A and B are shown apart, each in its own frame.
Chain A
């Protein structure tokens, strides 16, 4: 029995996940609670999409390892899973492309299930609408919209205009103010859902890597399976943190077209303060690269 005014939602989180932490997972739980509490949404699944190596962020370890950690972290979740499409693209892909890809994939799947199930097909809402794909992020991600050359204006407009954003507040950020100051964000403010994190949580993957490098415990901020994996494979060392140290973040390179040394330095400085932002753009691949099997989907 479904109320016709309830919109189905898929939450998509893009980022480095270097490594994934309990805070990332918490964001999904908070977002789901928040949206469903309004009575207007039903969250079907959550997707974690780790960025490809082509992003060239400093300290970014191989995507296969980051994916495996995300997979281990979501083993015990019945609604959150890892999406591999983005990382399988040969080049770095803009965020808006990733969202489009999942929207298209999910819409197709919805249509297929409509055809096979007469009950589903008879419901007008199911036939005409795919689930809404919303980008899930922290307030630092939202504010990255303001970093010059990191995002294309039209991409931001598409993300908040056509899709939607669920943003978990974080200490030290004021997302309300940020939205207020941006005409584009203000225009689409009804598509931006701000979730108050009452339990302040400063776990950041950067801090986590620091602790791991120093042989300190990460206890209980990372899922146990992820801790074991990190230890077994000796990920995160002073060396790994230097990866991409002399390279400019891919989005900045692309958008500014600036290859001069001075441009590099400025851009590199900007990348230091960036949180896990992700972007990519590549033609969608045909293969199904989403771990659907474990997830209950399309239950009416």
Chain B
């Protein structure tokens, strides 16, 4: 009775161009929230640091749909969990009685809005990401995630699977702003980890040139959808 919490893994997909303290903070806020529901136990992937980077998606030859990445990681988690539990788990849809691990997509509230962009997401992918897996969305200042969910039939149908976390301290640190500051030689200390700042300086990342990269080219998800039709 005491330990009926569902083991949970949070997966954040994104450009991380560059990673910021705010990205790291999403994890912390989401973990607090999910723990406080009493129903989930966010898994530690390593003993000391519970957040880790995975390279599988970045190593794929072409852009990979988010849901494909989710399926991949879920498969891995199941295998590891089966190995530990010593029994075969079949992937089940969300159910609070299930003791199998779950994977949910962690994102900012602006991510929720992207479901509306024509041609960006395949409908069946959104169904799977939200319906089968689930979302944990952390709200940023100025956005209204409840409104977004309400205005979408599909999202409303899966409301139970969409966890909205309120960020009570508005923090608009964005990777875009960080890149802008770096281009202008301004300080980004305390916005991104020191080790990341050092890496950026060492490799001279983020210049006016780098910001122009891919200018004029269509985002891959949009062309991929068009091609497959």
Contacts and interface: CB of A to CB of B under 8 A. Distances in A.
Chain A complexes with chain B: yes
A77 B187 CA distance: 12
B31 interface: yes
Given A217-B32, A219-B27, A221-B169, A199 B174 contact: yes
A253 interface: no
B172 A200 contact: yes
Interface string B161-196: 000000011111110010000000011011100100
A217 B28 contact: yes
Contacts of B78: none
A25 B190 contact: yes
A199 B27 contact: no
B169 A219 contact: no
A29 B197 CA distance: 14
B206 to A, nearest CB: 16
B43 interface: no
Interface residues of B, number: 24
A211 B28 CA distance: 12
Contact of A199 (B31, B32, B172, B189): B172
Interface in B107-144: 141
Scoring A202, A207, A218, A219 by chain B CB atoms within 10 A of each residue's CB, the highest score goes to: A219
A200 B171 contact: yes
A22 B170 contact: no
Interface residues of A, number: 26
Nearest to A37: B186
A208 to B, nearest CB: 8
Nearest to B178: A199
A21 B156 CA distance: 38
Contact of B170 (A76, A200, A216): A200
Nearest to A224: B193
A188 to B, nearest CB: 27
A29 B194 CA distance: 14
Q: Which of A22, A25, A204, A220 has the most CB of B within 10 A?
A: A220
Contacts of B168: 207, 211
Interface in B14-50: 21-22, 24-25, 27-29, 31-32
B187 A32 contact: yes
B187 A22 contact: no
A25 B189 contact: yes
Interface string A221-261: 10000000000000000000000000000000000000000
Interface string B74-112: 000000000000000000000000000000000000000
A202 B190 contact: no
Contacts of A211: 168
A119 B169 CA distance: 50
Contacts of B28: 217-220
Interface in A168-222: 171, 198-204, 207, 211, 216-221
Contact of A30 (B25, B173, B174, B187): B187
Nearest to B193: A220
A33 B21 CA distance: 20
A101 B186 CA distance: 31
The 7 closest A-B pairs by CB, nearest first: A219-B28, A29-B187, A217-B28, A220-B21, A202-B170, A22-B190, A200-B172
Interface of B: 21-22, 24-25, 27-29, 31-32, 141, 168-174, 177, 186-187, 189-191, 194
19 contacts: A25-B189, A26-B189, A29-B190, A30-B187, A171-B170, A199-B171, A200-B170, A200-B171, A201-B171, A201-B172, A202-B141, A203-B171, A204-B169, A207-B169, A211-B168, A217-B32, A219-B27, A220-B21, A221-B169
